[in-house]
Amino acid sequence: MPVPPSNLDPKIAERLKRSADGLVPAIAQQYDTGEVLMLAWMNDEALHRTLTTGRCTYWSRSRREYWVKGESSGHQQWVKSVALDCDGDAILVKVDQVGAACHTGDRTCWDADVLDAVVGERPGS
């Protein structure tokens, strides 16, 4: 799928590895505690808006439109830093989260469904 027009810096755009629908997963993390808050999706323009406005902008796959986190709910995300992973196929946005990050009203999207798992131990510890 061709990448829709965007104002994203071409040097950043050429580094992105997008899904077939032109999206890159974006993890939002609380900047001061390291708490992982949510996963959403960005295309080039959503990343551009995030980089240039100080607010997280995502692409809604279900509504097929941009959304600024907290615009309607008041649960805003204020950008502190943005990084690409080594492969350019994921974005990490460190934010100052106001209120809940999850659409369910939970602080994070990982509060409610912790799975049972064997806990590994590093050898020699």
CA atoms of 10 and 94, how far apart (whole Å): 23
Tell me the binding residues for Zn(2+).
86, 102, 109
| 57 and 18 Cβ atoms separated by less than 8 Å | no
User: Residue 24 burial (CB < 10 Å; 0-12/13-18/19+)?
Assistant: buried
- Strands 36-42 and 91-97 come out as unpaired
As annotated, the binding site for Mg(2+) includes 85, 87, 89
Binding residues: 85-87, 89, 102, 109
